[in-house]
Amino acid sequence: MTDRTNPELVIVLDFGAQYAQLIARKVRQCNVYCELLPHDTPLDELAKRQPWGVILSGGPDSVYAPGAPVPPRELFELGIPILGICYGMQLMCHLLGGSVTRGIKREYGKADLEVLSDADLFRGLPQTMTCWMSHGDSVATLPDGFHALGKTANTAHAAVADTDRRFYGVQFHPEVTHTPRGLEVLRNFLYGACECSGSWTVASIVDSAVAAIRQQVGESRVLCGLSGGVDSAATAALVHRAVGEQLVCLFVDHGFLREGEPEEVQRTFAAHFGVNLVTIDASERFLARLVGITDPEQKRLRIGEEFIRVFEEEAGRLGDFPFLAQGTLYSDVVESGPHNAAQIKRHHNVGGLPERMNFSLVEPLRGLFKDEARAVAGELGIPDEITWRHPFPGPGLAVRVIGEVTREKLDILRQADTIMLEEIKRAGLYREIFQALTVLPDVRSVGVMGDERTYGYPIVVRCVTSEDVMTADWARLPHDLLECLSTRIVNEVPAVNRVLYDLTSKPPGTIEWE
């Protein structure tokens, strides 16, 4: 039984669902803190965290398949409310004595759910509602104590409950937008069965992060690497709020930043936080490491190594720092888990600092998704230019200049990039677009300007939309905006005589070119 003096927490057990992360995000949207854990998390570890409720996710398996994932059986004896979704519901019914039939009536896509009981999960919801189904197996007979809460034309047990034990199951997916009232179903589970009050708000996240940092750090000094992006900025602001002068921020300018970026980062931090900021202009030494290097992975490797070297040198010079603060997000934690996809590129950021540097890590955003980190940044008064800045790779423009990186090419790319961003912002599309970038390929082509032959570089404009970074689509920009980009870049950047727009989604492309 959960001790309800502990903060509200709901655990999603992941059975391999495509939508497991989405469930966690939706629970958090209901202002209830939620964590995703593997399905085989040991019972004592689950119990120790004192969850107010547990959600069993869907998954690709059939409950009768050999090796099908199961939760610890005693989970059902802890007295904690449980919601099973799709496979999670089938599993719960199967483990508690019901039966599941295999793929007789498959159901994929939208279905009309007839609500049989307007209490519990469906409190305040209509008698019939659209829901999204994606299953081959179905629950045939219910375990003792269960009854149906809803059905569809093909599924007699589309929603079920044992209200005494506070066990619920839905065959449909309440977490997807194709179930328009799905969030309310989840909210009914969280606020009704689990008795949560929705106390997890941005203000409460900031308060508890600040308290946790104070407790972790005590009187010691903390070093924080700033990149100019929202995650490291919010991290620094939290640490600063917690321990003030004990924080020193280190901003390494590797020379591959966009126009005006180093100045902007320094200005923002001086103006808004009054933090101790040390800026290192290391552009010469980074550029020197890339002479003659054309292979993308070599570039990344060398920049990563040089970054560590500069960081180590400066940390040594600045004195004793037992703690290193960094802006690791929950998605980084989940993605670097055991089911992580094949490594496509060697990503470089401050998180790549080696363990032998002997820092203890302070990672106040480790439990947050990007949108939540942005909300924290807003709460902390970080200006919109940083909060809503598009993601920017650690190696910066060096992976957007294809082939050897030279000062001349960086300058060309910077000018084109500035124009592109100006026009995207002017068109009011900056927030809609996940990432907008320009690339300078290592080719030249012939053109004609003012009756004269030109032999110049093309600039590739790449704008993508994305929810999760893992997949992305090219943004459908208005033709007049494309025209304006092309005209301005060719007219204003002397070495450029062509502009291309990248029409590749991810996959098969990646967002960056290298």
Residue ranges that bind ligand XMP, judged by CB under 6 A: 344-345, 347-349, 391, 393-395, 435, 469, 506, 510-512
Which pair of tokens denotes residue 177?
A: 């937008």
Residue keyed to tokens 């919109």: 384
Q: How far apart are CA 155 and CA 21, in angstroms?
A: 26
| Closest CB 348 distance from ligand XMP, rounded Å | 4
Q: How far apart are CA 458 and CA 442, in angstroms?
A: 9
Q: Where are the alpha helices (DSSP H) in 30-73?
A: 43-48
| 303 vs 477, beta carbon nearer ligand XMP | 303
Q: Is 422 a catalytic residue?
A: no
Q: Which of 55, 67, 60, 63 is nearest to 25 (CA)?
A: 55
What is the distance, to the nearest Å, from the Cα of residue 458 to the centroid of all Cα atoms in its chain? Answer: 32
What's 396's DSSP letter? G
| 41 vs 298, beta carbon nearer ligand XMP | 298
* Sheet strands side by side (includes 167-170): 33-38, 9-14, 53-56, 82-85, 167-170, 159-162, 147-151, 107-115, 128-135
Q: Which of 119, 43, 380 is nearest to 235 (CA)?
A: 380
Catalytic residue among 173, 240, 254, 348: 173
| Closest CB 470 distance from ligand XMP, rounded Å | 8
| Closest CB 466 distance from ligand XMP, rounded Å | 8
Q: Beta-carbon neighbour count of residue 344 at 10 Å? A: 9
Catalytic residue among 30, 34, 86, 194: 86
Question: In the chain, what is the straight-line distance between the N-terminal and C-terminal CA atoms, in Å?
Answer: 51
Q: Is 173 a catalytic residue?
A: yes
| Closest CB 303 distance from ligand XMP, rounded Å | 8
The 3-state DSSP class for residue 50 equals coil
Q: Which of 263, 244, 273 is nearest to 383 (CA)?
A: 273
| 16 vs 391, beta carbon nearer ligand XMP | 391
| Closest CB 83 distance from ligand XMP, rounded Å | 33
CB 412 within 8 A of CB 449: no
| 211 vs 503, beta carbon nearer ligand XMP | 503
| 59 vs 228, beta carbon nearer ligand XMP | 228
Q: Is 339 a catalytic residue?
A: no
| Closest CB 229 distance from ligand XMP, rounded Å | 8
Catalytic residue among 107, 175, 184, 261: 175
| 58 vs 395, beta carbon nearer ligand XMP | 395
Q: Which residues are catalytic?
A: 86, 173, 175
